[in-house]
């Protein structure tokens, strides 16, 4: 069964460093998403991406964040100049359509020291 | 309550019993999705119910949706210890957007 994959599974970085989180969505999906879950808190929407551009973003997704689909398979989330409060589990998801099921990857646990 | 709030926050039952979790939301939705998360792991999609549907079944899962009350319930029948996890509802807006709004989840513990 097709699934969303994410790398790395864990990332530790120093405050102020840049990190890139990688995702491979399900191959025939057209919509891609990033969410995050701070430990003990709700899953929060960050951004959605369709047709090589951002279609929706939340207030959390400020200039520190960017997304890219560098090739036909990968979807990346870049966090510039990481802060302590960026420590969270970051989930990538994909769907075939906006009103369809969003399938989530296993997540990347980011720890900013 | 906030969009996509689950009730109860925690539920402990014996294996074989049924577990019912509720979700309330505030705005109009296109669909509501239920997810499961084992501790510290990824989100596993369980079931999607559309705003024009009232009930759906999938194996031991039964989901209901009452748009007039803006609420949904997830019933797990004949629970197993392996069902121990957190369960989240997530709502998709009715404005052609695709942002899912998650609730805080119900932590289910099924004792063997």
Q: What is the mean pLDDT of chain B?
A: 91
Sign of the torsion angle spanned by Cα atoms A9, B39, A62, A54: positive
Helix/strand/coil (H, E, C) string of A56-105? Answer: EECCCCCCCEEEECCCCCCEEEEECCCCHHHCEEEEEEEECCCCCCCEEC
Contact A87/B at CB under 8 A: no
Instruction: Give the nearest chain B residue to A109 (CA atoms).
Output: B40
Q: pLDDT over 70 for what percent of chain B?
A: 95
Does the pLDDT of residue A29 top 70, yes or no?
yes
Does A103 reach chain B within 8 Å, measured CB to CB? Answer: yes
Residues of A in contact with B100 (CB under 8 A): 33, 35, 43, 45, 102
* pLDDT tens digit sequence for B43-94: 999 999 999 999 999 999 999 999 999 999 999 999 999 999 999 999 988 7
Task: Name the residue facing B101 among A31, A33, A45 (closest C-beta).
Answer: A45
The answer to whether B19 and B11 are in contact (CB under 8 A) is: yes
Partner-chain contact A43 B88, CB within 8 Å: yes
Most B CBs within 10 A among A42, A50, A53, A55, hence the mutation to make, goes to A42
Q: Are B103 and A56 in contact (CB < 8 Å)? A: no
Which pLDDT tens digit goes with each residue over A38-52?
Answer: 998 899 999 999 989
Segment (H or E) for B31: strand B29-37
CA angle in degrees (0–180, nearest 5) for B63-B65-B69: 145
Query: CB–CB of A104 and B42 under 8 A?
Result: yes
- For an interface test with B, which of A43, A57, A109 has the most B Cβ atoms less than 10 Å from its Cβ? A43
pLDDT over 50 (residue B1): no
């Amino acid at each position: 069964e097709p699934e969303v994959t994410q790398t790395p599974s864990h990332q530790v970085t120093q405050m102020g460093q840049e990190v890139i989180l990688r995702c491979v969505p399900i191959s025939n999906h057209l919509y891609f998403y990033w969410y995050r879950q701070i430990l003990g808190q709700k899953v929060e929407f960050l951004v959605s991406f369709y047709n090589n551009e951002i279609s929706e973003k939340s207030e959390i997704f400020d200039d520190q964040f960017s997304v890219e689909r560098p090739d036909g398979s990968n979807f990346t989330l870049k966090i510039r100049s990481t802060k302590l409060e960026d420590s969270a589990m970051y989930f990538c998801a994909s769907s075939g359509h906006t009103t369809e099921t969003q399938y989530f990857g296993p997540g990347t646990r980011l720890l900013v020291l | 309550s906030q969009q996509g709030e689950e009730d109860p926050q925690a539920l402990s039952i014996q294996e074989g019993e049924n577990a019912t979790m509720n979700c309330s939301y505030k705005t109009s939705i296109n669909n509501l999705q239920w997810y499961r998360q084992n501790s510290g792991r990824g989100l596993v999609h369980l079931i999607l119910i559309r705003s024009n549907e009232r009930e759906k079944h999938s194996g031991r899962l039964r989901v209901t949706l009452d748009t007039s009350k803006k609420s949904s319930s997830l019933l797990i029948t004949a629970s197993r210890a392996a069902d121990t996890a957190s369960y989240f509802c997530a709502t998709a807006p009715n404005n052609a957007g695709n942002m899912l709004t998650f609730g805080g989840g119900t932590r289910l513990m099924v004792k063997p």
